[in-house]
A and B are shown apart, each in its own frame.
Chain A
């Protein structure tokens, strides 16, 4: 039996998620925003893996899903950066404050 309770892992995930969320919504540099999102995904992965070991029905599925999530995150990071660069070429900035195309 583990000496570390499930809630500790979950709490860690929660803290990381909150940090990521806060970063994603406050940081002005788009790259950092993307990284913060990655952090949030990681926090979710921790949960997945935690439950795969300590959940009601421990099974390998949680880990498999974490893998999928990592794969998708990687794809997302790649596409995100591509978009970022495209945008940067157009507007000469990565400052998120100035990206308000939604407004018009």
Chain B
């Protein structure tokens, strides 16, 4: 493995992503956690670029770092009681168990992937990436694409209904 720029880029991006994740787990204020995760999302976008998926990277930045994070922040603002994560009581055993479980799971999967290496096949993903995706989406995956739009619609309507229904209920009560 040579110390190329690509490698250096990967390492730093990965480091940032992992640090973001760890911060998510360890910070106490909810807002901070969300912000920590933004780093992770952005560095994942960087990873996508390394993997010659520019379009996905952009989408990642827009949807995750943008939309979802904002939604979450709104969620926190709308609901939050105490800004901090309350100290869990009596969950120590569960946490330990889970930690071991996650560790075991990770180890088991890592066992499966650590020496995975496929024959490198030359590909042209980086050339006109967006165009390729567009062609693929509108030809091969047209039906899933349409279905996705249905899902989004349903989610939109559903979210509105969920939010409104309670308003009415409360209105009824009052």
By beta carbon, the residue of chain B nearest A36 is B24
Which of B18, B40, B55, B103 has the most chain A CB atoms closer than 10 A to its own CB? B40
- How many chain A residues have a CB neighbour from B under 8 Å? 78
Q: How far is the CA of A75 from the CA of B50 in the complex (A)?
A: 27
A1 → chain B closest CB, angstroms:
5
The interface residues of chain B lying within 8 Å CB-to-CB of A55 are: 118
Is A7's CB within 8 Å of the partner chain B? Answer: yes
Q: Is the CB of B85 within 8 A of A81?
A: no
A65 → chain B closest CB, angstroms:
9
Give the A-B pair count, Cβ closer than 8 A: 244
The secondary structure that dominates the A interface is helix
List of 3 A-B pairs having minimum Cβ-Cβ separation, nearest first:
A75-B155, A19-B21, A82-B159
A13 → chain B closest CB, angstroms:
9
Q: Mark B114-136, 1 if CB is under 8 A from A, else 0.
A: 11111111010100010011001
Q: How far is the CA of A68 from the CA of B1 in the complex (A)?
A: 34
Q: Is the CB of A67 within 8 A of B56?
A: yes
Q: Is the CB of A39 within 8 A of B6?
A: no
Q: Mark A59-75, 1 if CB is under 8 A from B, else 0.
A: 11101101110111111
**Chain B residues engaging chain A, CB cutoff 8 angstroms:** 1-2, 4, 6-7, 10, 14, 17-18, 21-22, 24-25, 30, 33-34, 37, 40-41, 44, 47-48, 50-53, 55-56, 59-60, 63-64, 67-68, 71-72, 74-76, 78-81, 85-86, 88, 91, 94-95, 98-99, 102-103, 105-106, 109-110, 113-121, 123, 125, 129, 132-133, 136-137, 140-141, 144, 148, 151-152, 154-156, 158-160, 162-163, 165-166, 170
